[in-house]
């Protein structure tokens, strides 16, 4: 009987020790993740067909799911009226957070304000920022626009020549890059703009390819176009395809994003000469961390968080 009592006591001690160790290893995350299992987050974007937007959504989905959060993804395929409607739906559903991905919040300001009034925190990933939002995680788009444009105008063009701009100004990041391009265009007197063309989304690669094919027909002489400045990589890819098919090897192309297809084209040594690689994983991670911190009652300073970008060249 005495031996039995000793064995029982030992087993109890091991069980208690195991519980203490488990609690020590958990650092409270287990309790927090259990609480997160009751949480829901809505990721809303009009641009899921974009490679980089899709990457961010996937990164955030993985990050939230790892903490037990239920994720709903909404893609409105370039339709901003539908985006506004779906934000209203998510607000009515009472989600615990809304994340706008690659969205100018000014275009859905009324719907975001309704979310604020319903007590739903709104975050951005590669979006814009307006008062009332918690944070927006993005790149410093104005700095990126300045960096890639200076590299094109100065290093690649030598301060002289003609340029075509491919943009999509509904996107807040593209707006800031394009504004940097506009400012430098006035600074470099030896460089003139042939035209700025809006690239439709979805299908920006094909749309840009068709735009450049038409522009090449209008500018058939070698040397009539020196460069094509693309506000992001997908139009740069479409432009490069059109140039390759037309045999216009003299025309320089640059982009922004670090899209894997664009990087492969740069490494091949063709028309596409440079891009800026954005840290989309870092943006997504910043959003996940700040949403979880907000839910946990931590002090999250409102504003913009920047993930650094890297210049990639031939």
- pTM passes above 0.85: no
Nearest alpha-carbon partner for 32 in 305, 299, 300, 289: 289
**pLDDT, tens digit (0-9, with 9 covering 90-100), for 16-32:** 334 333 333 444 555 66
Question: Which residues, 6+ apart, have CB-to-CB distance to 11 below 8 Å?
Answer: none
In our burial notation (b when 16+ CB lie closer than 10 A, e otherwise), range 116-143 reads eeeebbbbbbbbbbbeebbbbbbbbbbb
Which position has the token pair 């735009």? Answer: 211
**Residue 199 DSSP code:** P
Beta bridge mates, 165: 196, 229
**pLDDT, tens digit (0-9, with 9 covering 90-100), for 214-262:** 999 999 999 999 999 999 999 999 999 999 999 999 999 999 999 999 9
Token pair belonging to 87:
């934000």
φ and ψ of 258, to 5 deg: 85, 25
Residues of the chain with pLDDT under 50: 1-27
Question: Which stretches does DSSP call E strand in 82-201?
Answer: 97-101, 122-125, 135-138, 161-167, 191-198
pLDDT given at position 37: 81
pLDDT given at position 27: 47
Contact call for residues 254 and 239 (beta carbons, < 8 A): no
Domains in the chain, start-ordered, CATH in brackets? 33-139+280-307 (3.40.50.2300), 141-277 (3.40.50.2300)
CA distance 312 to 148: 10
Question: Cα 64 to chain center, whole Å?
Answer: 17
């Amino acid at each position: 009987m005495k031996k039995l009592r000793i064995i029982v006591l030992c087993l109890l001690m091991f069980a208690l020790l195991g519980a203490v160790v488990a609690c020590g290893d958990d650092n409270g995350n287990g309790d927090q993740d259990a609480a997160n299992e009751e949480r829901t987050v809505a990721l809303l974007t009009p641009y899921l067909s974009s490679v980089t937007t899709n990457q961010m959504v996937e990164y955030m989905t993985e990050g939230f799911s790892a903490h037990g959060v239920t994720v709903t993804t909404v893609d409105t395929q370039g339709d901003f009226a539908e985006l506004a409607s779906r934000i209203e739906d998510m607000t009515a559903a009472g989600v615990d957070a809304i994340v706008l991905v690659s969205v100018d919040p000014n275009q859905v300001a009324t719907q975001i304000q309704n979310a604020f009034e319903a007590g739903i925190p709104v975050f951005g990933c590669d979006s814009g920022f307006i008062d009332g939002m918690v944070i927006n995680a993005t790149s410093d788009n104005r700095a990126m626009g300045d960096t890639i444009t200076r590299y094109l105008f100065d290093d690649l063009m030598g301060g002289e020549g003609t340029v075509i701009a491919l943009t999509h100004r509904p996107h807040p990041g593209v707006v800031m890059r394009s504004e940097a391009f506009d400012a430098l265009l006035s600074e470099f007197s030896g460089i003139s703009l042939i035209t700025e063309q809006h690239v439709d989304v979805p299908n920006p690669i094909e749309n840009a390819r068709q735009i450049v094919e038409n522009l090449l027909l209008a500018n058939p002489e070698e040397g009539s176009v020196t460069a094509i400045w693309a506000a992001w990589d997908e139009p740069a890819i479409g432009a490069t395809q059109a140039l390759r098919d037309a045999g216009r090897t003299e025309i320089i192309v640059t982009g922004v994003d670090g899209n894997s297809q664009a990087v492969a084209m740069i490494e091949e040594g063709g028309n596409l000469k440079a891009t800026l690689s954005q840290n989309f994983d870092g943006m997504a991670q910043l959003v996940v961390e700040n949403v979880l911190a907000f839910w946990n009652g931590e002090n999250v300073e409102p504003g913009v968080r920047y993930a650094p970008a890297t210049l990639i060249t031939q």
